[in-house]
Amino acid sequence: MRSTMSLIVFVLAHPAVGLAADWVPDSVHFPADAGFADVKAFGAKGDGVTDDTAALQAAFAGKVHALYFPPGVYLVSDSIVTSTSKRYFIQGAGPAKSVIRLKDSAAGFGDPANPKAVLANEKTRINTGANGQAFRNSYHDLAIEVGAGNPGAIGLMYFNNNQGTIHNVTIRSLNPEKRGKAGLALIQNWPGPALVRYLKIEGFDYGIWSTIGQYSFVFEHLHLREQRVAGIHNAKQKLAIRGFKSENRVPAIQDASGFTVLIDAEFTGGAAEAAVVSQGQLFVRNLRTQGYPQAIESTAAKVAGPAVEEFASGEVATLFDGPKKSLNLPVEEAPAFTSSNPEDWANVTKFGAVPGGGDATAAVQKAIDSGKPIVYFPHGSYGIEGTVHVRGAVRRIDCLESQIDSGGGAGPLWRIADGDSPFVIIERYEGTYQSKRLSFEHASQRTLVLRTMIPRGEFYANTVKGGKLFLDDVCAGTMKFDGQTVFARQANPENQGTKVQNDGGTFWCLGLKTEKAGTILATTGGGRTEVLGGYFYYNRGKPGGAAPLVNVDSSVSVIATLTGAGGTLIQETRADVVKTLGKWPHLYVGQK
């Protein structure tokens, strides 16, 4: 009997402690004609008995970078490594369905001093990589298990730049003593930025082991348990973390020299040490602890538990009189929609779109107007020269990591019009470098969700005020918001000039990473802007011109690191009185 189950989740304000939302499924529907290569076509059995190492190595070393793991247990005895450092898309059927399992006592995985990864992007050695071009590597909806007798094993050694996602993934040690070096390792030059959401890690010395300083990572809805040394070990990296649940008898966070922003967390279990042990820079808000002698032990102070409302280890700067605390804006989750009924999915190729063919505008529009709630692009390359009107019954457009070339067209690529659904989701694509026109015109007040994409060209403009926008793992150009409410996770604008303009709206961002000189954030018209973690990188262009941070009669709080800029770093105006700051603080607050 065909399943007709669909899953709709609407926008909700965050609870007191932002733990993982309930909607993330253990099993997901993935269309058979999605254009991803089935690893069983390479000879993998997925029966939990056959050694699938050679078959998976062949799959990962081929020209096809979009791979699907159908339900099964894929037993391996060696590392599975991608052939190149970028654009690998690994998709499972859900962490309870698609499992990659390292054999017990596998050769080469026995020494924690010389760890070895089960899965890795291009290389398995520490401090390799170093190209900064590892774009869009993503792992969705699967589990990685490490069998007993592998104390040097790393579940996933992840290497990514600009935009990439780990989503709905479970990594666990099957050893009774929870042995293994790390669940997730960020130890290759240079990892980040990327968005890691709905990650569960059980066991290992470290749940997350991070040793490289660039370029920032965002974690949301993270669940770590039964680590042997620390939940997270962070040296040098910039981490922004929200909704972190730790169940451990060791510190949840061990920050050696990093920059860690932590909000909405719950750490239970307890240890002789504090829940958070930090020798780096630290910002904490809304932390709850249980069983630890104190909540925080940092170089700046010791903070008792069980509750920490807000703590900053460094200087909090204000230019006018006002509170020296973050804005603490309300946070909302993006709406979600999926269905396991194939009748709800419209394939654009069935309406005339041809991967690698001509202009697919008319075909895509027919798919959207078909009345199906989900429209999808089988993985490939598509040209769209006209404007696609997003309207009618469609709730979600999944481009399945395709490339969309809109370089020869005029007008916006996507126009978000009114429709039957109160929201629409567009996700998983990359524009070409020839794409120069506007990617998104938000011409409606209904909620828009944009995630896991590098659209290129001009990014976004709203022609109707008052709508909501969610940005999850988006690398793009200028982000210009006029009277909008925006919630962003891992936003990465890399254009010259002003990166984010908030005129009279609300912009909340967990992890903002930028490149090139110019104003990073300009908030005007009584807007509200809050940035929690990130990295402002003046690597190209002449520093010393426009201030990176501009606040005109608005309310702003920013905690992030900045390198390469000089001169005036913060400029705040109130009632025509202008004040500036030439030193970058730990936390800047300017509340109207």
Secondary structure element (H or E) that encloses residue 255, with its range: strand 253-255
Tell me the per-residue pLDDT of 425-467, one tens digit each, with 9 for 90 and over. 999 999 998 888 999 999 999 999 999 999 998 999 999 999 9
Cα separation, 402 vs 350, in Å, equals 16
Rounded CA gap, 11 and 486, in Å?
13
Contact 83, 60 (CB under 8 A): yes
Pairing verdict, β 485-493 and 500-503: unpaired
- Could you tell me the CA-to-CA distances from 496 to 162, 511, 516, 518, 546 in Å, in that order? 16, 19, 6, 6, 11
Specify burial of residue 54 (Cβ count, 10 A radius: 0-12, 13-18, 19+): middle
Q: What is the pLDDT of residue 189?
A: 87
Per-residue pLDDT of the chain (592 residues; tens, 9 = 90+): 333 455 554 443 333 333 344 457 778 999 999 999 999 999 999 999 999 999 999 999 988 899 999 999 999 999 999 988 899 999 999 999 999 999 999 999 999 999 999 999 877 777 776 678 889 999 999 999 999 999 999 999 999 999 999 999 999 999 999 999 999 999 988 899 999 999 999 999 999 999 998 899 999 999 999 999 999 999 999 999 999 999 999 999 999 899 999 999 999 998 889 999 999 999 999 999 999 999 999 999 999 999 999 999 999 999 999 999 999 999 999 999 999 999 999 999 999 999 999 999 999 999 999 999 999 999 999 999 999 999 999 999 999 999 999 988 889 999 999 999 999 999 999 999 888 899 999 999 999 999 999 999 899 999 999 999 999 999 999 999 999 999 999 999 998 889 999 999 999 999 999 999 899 999 999 999 999 999 999 886 665 678 999 999 999 999 999 998 989 999 999 999 999 999 999 999 999 8
Cα distance between residue 107 and residue 93, in whole Å: 29
CB 6 within 8 A of CB 348: no
Place of tokens 């998104």: 440
Instruction: Count Cβ atoms below 10 Å from residue 105 Cβ, excluding itself.
Output: 13
Tens-digit pLDDT profile for residues 384-437: 999 999 999 999 999 999 999 998 888 999 999 999 999 999 999 999 988 889
pLDDT score of 462: 96
pLDDT at 139: 98
List, as own/partner pairs, every contact residues 54-59 make where C-beta atoms lie below 8 angstroms and the sequence separation is at least 24, other chains included: 56/80, 56/100, 57/81
Going edge to edge, which strands form the sheet with 296-298?
Answer: 80-81, 116-120, 153-157, 182-186, 206-210, 230-234, 253-255, 276-278, 296-298, 302-303
**Per-residue confidence (pLDDT) for residue 500, from 0 to 100:** 97
Structural domains of the chain sorted by starting position, each given as residue range(s) with its CATH number in brackets:
40-317 (2.160.20.10), 336-537 (2.160.20.10)
Q: How far is it, in rounded angstroms, from Cα 343 to Cα 469?
A: 28
Which pTM was predicted?
0.95
What is the torsional sign of CA 449, 453, 454, 456? negative
What is the per-residue pLDDT for 122?
A: 79
Phi-psi label, residue 203: left if phi above 0, alpha if psi -120 to 50, beta otherwise:
left
Task: State the Cα–Cα distance between residues 178 and 103, nearest whole angstrom.
Answer: 15
Beta bridge partners of 172: 145, 202
